Amino acid sequence: MSDRLPVSFTTVELATAEVDALVLGATKRDGALALLEGHGLDESTAQALSAALSTLGAEGTTDELTRLAGVDGVAAGLILVVGVGGSGPAPRTEQLKRAAGVAARSLAGRGSALFALGQQDRDQAVAVAEGAALGAYSYVEQHGAGKAGSRKDPLGSVLVRGLDGEDATTAQAEVSAVVAAVSYARDLVNTPPNLLYPETFAADVVERAQAAGVEVEVWDPEQLAAEGCGGIIGVGQGSARGPRLVTLRYTPEGATRHLALVGKGITFDSGGLCLKPGASMVTMKMDMGGAAACAAATLAIAELGLPVQVTAYLCLAENMTGDLAQRPGDVVTMRGGRTVEIINTDAEGRLVMADGLALATEQQPDAIVDVATLTGACIVALGERTIGVMGNDDELRDSIVRMGTEAGDTAWALPMPEEIRPTLDTPVADLKHTGERSAGAMVAATFLQEFVGTRGAVEGEDATQIPWAHLDIAGPAFNEKSAWGYYPKGATGAGVRSLVALARSYAG
């Protein structure tokens, strides 16, 4: 799978930097094209570059790239100027991050590049480094010999101007951990489903968790049955490749708060007996993106040494059509004893997640967050680049929207209207797992909420609901279209940075 791209910070002079490429940023200002302030070039060189860009018709618009070679006063053989655009809805750090990603992707085949997009402070320097490293990502595992001969390697290393000393060291560690986590989530989602299935997914996570000093436990089908996890068992019973539940536990000394994560891990979703159309199955290897995000984020939190306890539940199953596949009309008993009538076997994700949420509740954490590629309805509501966030606690929900968006996981809050719950009633079980067709994302979240419990009562106080938030990443988890910003075609690693940001806030 993808190697970690070397990223470092420097205060080297641009004119003498011995790199293959120098990356600068530009935008329109007062109707004229200009390099972003803080670029670090001397005035005459900057003026010559601006004039050359104007001659070439550069506009400085978002994602625009202009290449210049043999520029006097600069040692680098190639200067790449990337448009950052003007003021827009994205935060300034996100604009720089995306511009760095566009530039890094275009530099495939180059050994090194120095990024000087005009970053003004530590946050902006970190954003440029993260964007460049994520933009250079490439999944290369399954390319055969014929393809490899014509394919360029990704950019070899990234230098970002603006930090030095201890500040540079800590920023480098921060960027490295986050980029490695997002890249790991991308790798998992990009892996073909004949290679990544519940058993191999679990084995890979076990290996990485042990290397990171994170405790890990795996329940196989027999253990799942013994533990009453009827949701995971029911979804997985139609596949010859049995389901798994992977539990990750990061328990640092001094932690005073506990965060539980639950990830949907459907390694391939055929729809079960309610079979999907063939065209709709092509990308269904990505249906484990929530579990990938939870695993990767937990490892990043451990690498960063954040003083917050994290327990992550990866609910892994393959939804197939074997002779034991569950049927519409079946009733299954979930972890905790509640019964659920199966209506549509292609609404399988919420079933495995329900068991995970029940298990998370048993640990009485300070908050539970689940991540899932759950509903096409969320894509209809919010498009392909925005995470839908729902939950039972407005403060937690809105904090994740804010922190996730600031981190680069654009998110938006959706309501959970009270009239949805009665649509889950059924005369044959405690509830059914689908309701009315409209408001599908909120119907799914309402079902999940049924499995989030309360904290035990203390003297003089009643039991209280455990704060819970649900991240529907169905849209942004997998990019079927052209690469953009620092997002490649294919898996994106959606949700990882939101979870790391939330853990930081809990670490105090």
pLDDT digits (tens, 9 = 90+) for 18-74: 999 999 999 887 777 888 888 888 888 888 898 899 889 998 898 899 999 988 888
- Residue 401, SS3? helix
- In the DSSP assignment, the letter for residue 228 is T
The Cα–Cα gap between 358 and 227 comes to: 12
The interaxial angle of helices 289-304 and 165-190, nearest 10 deg, is 160
R_g (Cα) of the chain, nearest Å: 24
The Cα–Cα gap between 80 and 67 comes to: 5
Length in residues, the chain: 508
pLDDT (mean) for 370-387: 98
The Cα–Cα gap between 247 and 359 comes to: 10
327 part of the active site: no
Residue that wins the pLDDT comparison between 436 and 273: 273
Write b or e for each residue in 422-436: b if 16 or more Cβ atoms lie within 10 A of its Cβ, otherwise e: ebbeeeebbbbbbbe
Question: Which entry of 161, 350, 432, 497 is annotated as an active-site residue?
Answer: 350
Query: Do residues 209 and 299 lie in contact, with contact meaning Cβ atoms separated by under 8 Å?
Result: yes
- 93 vs 23, 90, 120, 164, 334, CA distance in Å? 16, 8, 10, 20, 44
pLDDT at residue 457 is higher than 80 = no
pLDDT at site 304: 97
Which regions of 357-481 does DSSP assign to beta strands (E)? 367-372, 387-391, 411-413, 431-432, 454-455, 464-465, 468-472, 478-479
- 110 vs 69, 153, 343, CA distance in Å? 14, 8, 53
pLDDT at residue 88 is higher than 70 = no
User: Across all residues in the chain, what is the average pLDDT?
Assistant: 93
In sequence order, which residues have a C-beta less than 8 Å from that of residue 89 and are 6 or more positions away?
none
147 part of the active site: no
pLDDT at site 50: 87
pLDDT at residue 217 is higher than 70 = yes
Closest CA to 389 of 266, 247, 499: 499
Which regions of 139-287 does DSSP assign to beta strands (E)? 157-161, 215-219, 244-250, 258-269
pLDDT (mean) for 492-498: 98
Q: In degrees rounded to 5, what are phi and psi of residue 87?
A: -70, 140
Amino acid residing at 165: G
φ/ψ bin of 31: left (φ > 0), alpha (ψ from -120 to 50), beta (otherwise):
left
- 144 vs 4, 138, 187, CA distance in Å? 21, 15, 17
- 392 vs 83, 374, 445, CA distance in Å? 41, 18, 10
Cα–Cα–Cα angle for 193, 199, 200, rounded to 5 degrees:
60
pLDDT at site 332: 98
**Tokens (6 digits) for 178:** 């986050």
Cα–Cα–Cα angle for 243, 435, 280, rounded to 5 degrees:
55
- In the DSSP assignment, the letter for residue 420 is G
In sequence order, which residues have a C-beta less than 8 Å from that of residue 291 and are 6 or more positions away?
201, 246, 263, 264, 265, 314, 315, 316, 371
pLDDT (mean) for 300-307: 98
Q: What is the DSSP string of 5-28?
A: PPEEEE---GGG---SEEEEEEEE
Which regions of 356-459 does DSSP assign to beta strands (E)? 367-372, 387-391, 411-413, 431-432, 454-455
pLDDT at residue 106 is higher than 60 = yes
pLDDT band at 466 (very low <50, low <70, confident <90, very high): very high
Which strands form 387-391's sheet, in the order they lie side by side? 215-219, 244-250, 309-319, 258-269, 367-372, 468-472, 387-391, 411-413
In sequence order, which residues have a C-beta less than 8 Å from that of residue 438 and are 6 or more positions away?
none
pLDDT (mean) for 452-473: 86
Cα–Cα–Cα angle for 228, 229, 235, rounded to 5 degrees:
140
Tally of helices (H runs) and strands (E runs) in the chain: 15, 22
pLDDT (mean) for 373-396: 98
Query: Do residues 100 and 155 lie in contact, with contact meaning Cβ atoms separated by under 8 Å?
Result: no
The Cα–Cα gap between 196 and 68 comes to: 43
pLDDT at residue 145 is higher than 60 = no
Question: Which entry of 122, 276, 455, 504 is annotated as an active-site residue?
Answer: 276
pLDDT at site 1: 42
pLDDT at residue 16 is higher than 80 = yes
